[in-house]
Amino acid sequence: MSQRPVDRESPDRLYTVTGGRTLGSEDPFDLVSLIVSECDPAPGMQSEHVRILRNCQAPMAVVEISADLALPVSVVKVLLRDLLDTGGITVRHPSRYPPHPVMARLPDRDTLKKVLVGLQKL
């Protein structure tokens, strides 16, 4: 008698991974939030938490973590919230950082359009 392969996306498995928890409206993560480990995995830690901490020693986007774990983003966000609450990770939001100093010195779009029109007239 052959056994059926385990479906990694089965509702039972996802429920088990998250303990039935959801984030609700307190979601501090978006798809491009960068996650950085702040500690090493501890003995007895959930295997998904261990993989996140090991993989995020260099900044890694939430969507990349989801792909690596082969789990839906919503499930990964619950796992990340666990680690954030215990100080195991930090979250960096790329869109919230000021532009790089070089980018801040570039002329605005309207000025660049005027220059382009002027050059085309030459």
Q: What is the pLDDT of residues 38-80, one digit of tens each?
A: 999 999 999 999 999 999 999 999 999 999 999 988 889 989 9
Helical H runs in the chain?
A: 11-18, 47-55, 62-69, 73-85, 101-104, 109-121
Number of domains in the chain: 1
Q: Domain range for residue 49?
A: 11-97
The pLDDT value recorded for residue 3 is 47
**Region of poorest pLDDT, from 16-20, 48-52, 75-79, 112-116:** 16-20
In this structure, is residue 106 part of a structural domain? no
In this structure, is residue 89 part of a structural domain? yes
Residue type, 24: G
In this structure, is residue 110 part of a structural domain? no
Residue 92 has pLDDT above 60, yes or no: yes
